[in-house]
Structure 1
Amino acid sequence: MAEQIEEVPAELIQTRVYELHPNKTMRKVLDEACDYRRYCWNQGLALWNEMYKARKAIKSSLASDPKKLTEEQKVLLKEKPSPSERRVRNMLVADKKDWQYTQSARILQLAISDLGKAWNNFFDKAQPGWGKPKFRSKREARQGFKSDRSKIKDGILYLERARRSSVPKDQWCGFKLSEKPLSYKFGVVSYFKEKGRYYVAIPYKIKAEDVKLPDKTGKATAVDVNVGHFDYTGGRVNVLPKRLDRIYKKIKHYQRQLVKKQVKNGEAACESENYLKTKAKLQACYRKASN
């Protein structure tokens, strides 16, 4: 029998996350792009739900046997087609407002593409964990958008500028990345904002032959994994720095403060300024711990 040879992919996707430090003008550009992406998602989801409910109502009112449908019923089904990524996208593009042309058209395209994938995952029985797509809120901790027209030149990341953008060309500048970028090609770039800071996730397409694997020694070792360290045959390796202990103590302290405010004042506590300040401190500690 011939031996089975494992196929190695020609390209591997390796995503790197960089922190951005935009100026005041580009910070406004990123915020508006995040808002526009959320707007496109919510508009697309509302239209999708409307088309789905109308189609479902028509089907339930018609005859159960599709072969016995009359011509009028067939015309009615054509007037109310089932929702799809292409139909929803085309309807949103046709109904564009004037202010939408100040933003990149790719934001709308990629938002509806993600919405179509979310619906496919929801109806896929092999993926029972996927829930129904939900509307996005501006109060969510993470806001972002995607772009497939971003470029890296001389280590600077440049975002696509819409033709009717309100920002002049001489004020439109690139972003300096927190680390030196790789020299490989990349796919769709994700920009996102968390706790007042801006980040970008770049999926590099690395060739399989460029991936360096560690040399095999032919020796075996035993590993005992713990939360803060792991023991192996040669000794112990501590993986958590001491600074994390102080951060975790602050997290416990802020969590107790928030719980006390909720117990004392109920739902009204979530709208107070002191509650929001404490919540912001808690989120900052979580960011430090994750970093």
Structure 2
Amino acid sequence: MFDIILKRKERTNVLKGIKLRLYPNRTQQNQLEQMFGNDRFVWNQMLAMMNERYQNNKALPFLGKFKLNYLLKPLKKEYPFLKTSNSSSLQVVNEFLTQSWKNFFQDKTGQVGKPRFHSRKYLKKSYTGKSIIKTAGKRYLKIPKLGYVKTSKTGVLQNTKIKRYTVLLEPTGKYYLSLQAEIPEPEKYSLTGKRVGIDVGVADLAILSNGLKYPSFNSSYFEKKAKIWQKKYSRRRHLVKLLVLQDRNKRVLCPRSLESFTNWQKAQKSKAKYQAKAANQRRDYLHKLTTHLVKQYDVIAIEDLKTKNLQKNHHL
């Protein structure tokens, strides 16, 4: 009996996602741009090789991530700029690529297609690594290949073991560090003995069985701003494309490129900024609401209906 009580009191570790804001300097930003490009380059090189291998003989055995990792060493000799990236990040690229091929081969419905090549025009850039990240003070982290990078806070990383990290650049121009950390299991909330049923609606976000109503989150201000800048962005980009096409037709000696115009790029960042604000506020509202419900009730029952299907019915 005493052993059973001890086992119940033992706390296990759980995985938790932690997201921090990064403030890299200009040198580190240039280095991150190179590392983003290296991941994209390795993905495209490995994918081209696997596509050619699959087209030549479909009966050949599938190349796993470990076999692809052996090809990284000769690839680095041929392209020395790959050495600027963390070696674990390139291995993660091979892991993601093999998983994409497995999803393609295991899919029987035909909905999952073959992996596609990555474009440098994709706005959300990122790379994932499995190396050790160390805290250096309250506002600094030591990231492999980057050195000491200023961050928003490091207190949340106490008593954690980082399994995997992802450095990403949002379309708004902000850098973030997403961590998959192993933390001690948090203490459970005290039992209240209450039960509740939730009816998901269209006019109201949730209606409880005891009569309480939670209104839907209103982010109309930022959504209106995002729509305005979306129109500006589309209009400016269309005009720029016409100017670039005009230079090509006239065979100008030094034709202008799409990236040489900054007006549409400013509109793109403004559009992404307002979209991110609306999404962050909505996410914060939902997190606070769900946390409140979990603290108040032990059993929560939710109907199995899709709100999107309800919105399609104009009679509701």
Show CA shifts across 1:124-163 (max 9, x none). Answer: 23786543211111111211111111323245322113xx
Helix, strand or coil: the match of 1:108?
helix
Give yes or no for the alignment of 1:185 onto 2:185: no
Aligned equivalents of 1:121, 1:9: Cα separation in 2:
35
**2:254 paired residue number:** none
The letter for the 2-side match of 1:16 is I
The letter for the 2-side match of 1:281 is S
User: Structure 2 length normalisation: TM-score?
Assistant: 0.66
**1:203 paired residue number:** 180
Give yes or no for the alignment of 1:212 onto 2:187: yes
Helix, strand or coil: the match of 2:63?
coil
Q: In the superposition, relative to structure 1, how do residues 13 and 285 fare at CA in structure 2: closer, same or farther (>3 Å)? A: same
The letter for the 2-side match of 1:157 is L
Q: In the superposition, relative to structure 1, how do residues 261 and 32 fare at CA in structure 2: closer, same or farther (>3 Å)? A: closer
**1:157 paired residue number:** 141
- The list of structure 1 runs, each at least 4 consecutive aligned residues, that deviate by more than 6 angstroms after superposition, is 264-267
The letter for the 2-side match of 1:37 is D
Whose relative contact order is higher, 1 or 2, with alpha carbons under 8 Å and at least 6 apart? 1
* The one of 61, 85, 91 aligned to 1:109: 91
Task: Mark the runs of 5 or more structure 1 residues left unpaired by the alignment.
Answer: 1-7, 60-79, 162-166
How far off is 1:214 after superposition? 2.2
**1:67 paired residue number:** none
Helix, strand or coil: the match of 1:181?
helix
Q: Would you say how many aligned residue pairs link Structure 1 and Structure 2? A: 248
User: Structure 1 length normalisation: TM-score?
Assistant: 0.72
Asked if 2 retains the 8 angstrom alpha-carbon contact of 1:147 and 1:190, the reply is yes
Asked if 1 retains the 8 angstrom alpha-carbon contact of 2:165 and 2:177, the reply is yes
Q: In the superposition, relative to structure 1, how do residues 177 and 125 fare at CA in structure 2: closer, same or farther (>3 Å)? A: same
Aligned equivalents of 2:43, 2:104: Cα separation in 1:
16
How far off is 1:287 after superposition? 1.4
Aligned equivalents of 1:218, 1:160: Cα separation in 2:
49
Show CA shifts across 1:100-143 (max 9, x none). Answer: 22332222212111111111122123786543211111111211
**2:64 paired residue number:** 84
Aligned equivalents of 2:151, 2:234: Cα separation in 1:
40
Aligned equivalents of 2:54, 2:133: Cα separation in 1:
38
**2:270 paired residue number:** 281
Asked if 1 retains the 8 angstrom alpha-carbon contact of 2:233 and 2:271, the reply is no
How far off is 1:181 after superposition? 2.2
The letter for the 2-side match of 1:217 is T
Aligned equivalents of 1:29, 1:106: Cα separation in 2:
16
Aligned equivalents of 1:26, 1:266: Cα separation in 2:
31
Asked if 1 retains the 8 angstrom alpha-carbon contact of 2:133 and 2:162, the reply is no
The letter for the 2-side match of 1:290 is A
**2:253 paired residue number:** none
**1:19 paired residue number:** 21
Aligned equivalents of 1:114, 1:123: Cα separation in 2:
14
* Aligned positions of 1:246-265 closer than 5 A: 246-257=221-232
Asked if 1 retains the 8 angstrom alpha-carbon contact of 2:22 and 2:151, the reply is yes
Helix, strand or coil: the match of 2:156?
coil
**1:290 paired residue number:** 279
Give yes or no for the alignment of 1:40 onto 2:42: yes
Asked if 2 retains the 8 angstrom alpha-carbon contact of 1:26 and 1:173, the reply is no
Helix, strand or coil: the match of 2:196?
coil
Q: CA RMSD in A?
A: 3.3
Task: Mark the runs of 5 or more structure 2 residues left unpaired by the alignment.
Answer: 1-9, 245-257, 281-316
Give yes or no for the alignment of 1:95 onto 2:75: yes
The letter for the 1-side match of 2:141 is L
Give yes or no for the alignment of 1:176 onto 2:165: no
Aligned equivalents of 2:61, 2:214: Cα separation in 1:
60
The letter for the 2-side match of 1:200 is L
Asked if 2 retains the 8 angstrom alpha-carbon contact of 1:157 and 1:175, the reply is yes
Taking every aligned residue pair, what percent have the same amino acid on both sides? Answer: 22
Q: In the superposition, relative to structure 1, how do residues 214 and 118 fare at CA in structure 2: closer, same or farther (>3 Å)? A: same
Helix, strand or coil: the match of 1:187?
strand
How far off is 1:46 after superposition? 1.1
**2:292 paired residue number:** none
Asked if 2 retains the 8 angstrom alpha-carbon contact of 1:13 and 1:204, the reply is yes
Aligned equivalents of 1:26, 1:276: Cα separation in 2:
22
How far off is 1:202 after superposition? 0.7
**2:290 paired residue number:** none
Show CA shifts across 1:37-77 (max 9, x none). Answer: 11111111111112222222xx5xxxxxxxxxxxxxxxxxx
